Amino acid sequence: MASVLLDQVVKTYPGGFTAVKGVSFAVPDGGFCVLVGPSGCGKSTLLRMIAGLEAISDGAVSIGDRVVNKVEPMDRDIAMVFQNYALYPHMSVYDNMAYGLRNLKTPEPEILARVGEAAKILELNDEMLKRKPRQLSGGQRQRVAMGRAIVRKPAVFLFDEPLSNLDAKLRVQMRIEIRKLQRRLKTTSIYVTHDQLEAMTLADMLVVMNAGRVEQVGAPLELYERPASVFVAGFLGSPPMNFLDGVIEKPGLVRLSDGGELAYDHAHFGPPLGAEVKAGVRPERVTFARDGAGLPFTLELVEELGLGQLAHGRLAGADFTVALPAAHNAPSGEAQHLAIPLDAVHLFDRKTGARL
């Protein structure tokens, strides 16, 4: 058990490319931290630096109370689950899980006990333990990879996009299992993914990264409801948030580019008059206005999801999506009006992307 502390961590490659540009955050003991961001944002690099697989160019990584910048991976008291599982193909499942313990000179009876325990947690039966990894399905291999991490009883689990090689159904199932497992073992975990849904569901603590920097750190719902930037707002949530360009005309009113009026809660946002803003609205917070009031919306396409419907169209010259619950039927006809509640509107600076 240990907390993980990152202090102004920088990674510069020999070619001069800086992949991680000064990242700081702290994962509390027993916390489940998810690093999320688009490909190339530096999240995997950061995880590999915590694991000790990449050198740290500047700053400090601490596990527990110990700065581990110069500590070998095997001495950092971590275990890692890789994207392609990285199981030793020539060893049986049992040997795969036992290998690390054997290298640490753990007595054989204890190895047997620990592997047995892990196998029970992961529902791997004795017959499976004798097989080679290539005789297992993707989901089973993923379990073995996690088993290999569990038997070590490390202070920190590191997951590098462990579910991205699985099919969609299995991904959801394994996601739930990982969460249950972490609750049960209470081991500090850091998990990297590019899938915002995985990130939202797994995390106690979400770190959104973009271009080598941290955009925002916080609880998933907090980030969802109060995104600190256009990037976070657009990245979290599916379908993503809609954005409309406008100018602040008076407190509580945005004049949209097509002349429409969008009201916002000026108790929460205090932009100066005349500021150029991006107004963000989550698709599920919008409803169709039946009485002809509200903002004019051109309906172009309705997607049926079963769970609900997505109505795609144009509003004030921008693409706009409305998410409707299952009970609602999308109205027919192109010309529609949308009702946008006051508290559904987020305002961001159009130039910097920061929340106002």
Residues that bind another protein (CB under 8 A): 51-53, 72-74, 78-80, 82-91, 99-100, 103-104, 148
CB of residue 88 vs another protein: minimum separation in angstroms?
6
Q: Which is nearer to another protein, 15 or 306 (CB)?
A: 15
In degrees and rounded to multiples of 5, residue 5 shows phi and psi of -125, 125
CB of residue 93 vs another protein: minimum separation in angstroms?
14
CB of residue 30 vs another protein: minimum separation in angstroms?
21
Q: Which is nearer to another protein, 100 or 294 (CB)?
A: 100
- Separation CA 251–CA 256 (nearest Å): 14
Q: Which is nearer to another protein, 72 or 127 (CB)?
A: 72
Q: Which is nearer to another protein, 74 or 335 (CB)?
A: 74
Q: Which is nearer to another protein, 76 or 282 (CB)?
A: 76
CB of residue 20 vs another protein: minimum separation in angstroms?
18
CB of residue 110 vs another protein: minimum separation in angstroms?
15
**Maximum separation of any 2 CA atoms in the chain, in Å:** 76
| DSSP-derived secondary structure letter, 6 | E
| Segments in 122-216 forming alpha helices (H) | 126-129, 138-150, 168-185, 196-202
Q: Are the C-beta atoms of residues 343 and 286 closer than 8 Å to each other?
A: no
- Separation CA 6–CA 102 (nearest Å): 31
Q: Which is nearer to another protein, 148 or 175 (CB)?
A: 148
Q: Which is nearer to another protein, 156 or 323 (CB)?
A: 156
In degrees and rounded to multiples of 5, residue 235 shows phi and psi of -80, -40
CB of residue 198 vs another protein: minimum separation in angstroms?
20
- Separation CA 230–CA 234 (nearest Å): 6
Q: Which residues pair with 281 in a beta bridge?
A: 242, 345
Q: β-strands 156-160, 188-193: how paired?
A: parallel
Q: What's the number of CA atoms in the CB half-sphere (13 Å) around residue 105? A: 0
Q: Is the dihedral of CA 251, 252, 257, 260 positive or negative?
A: negative
Q: Are the C-beta atoms of residues 5 and 26 closer than 8 Å to each other?
A: yes
CB of residue 53 vs another protein: minimum separation in angstroms?
5
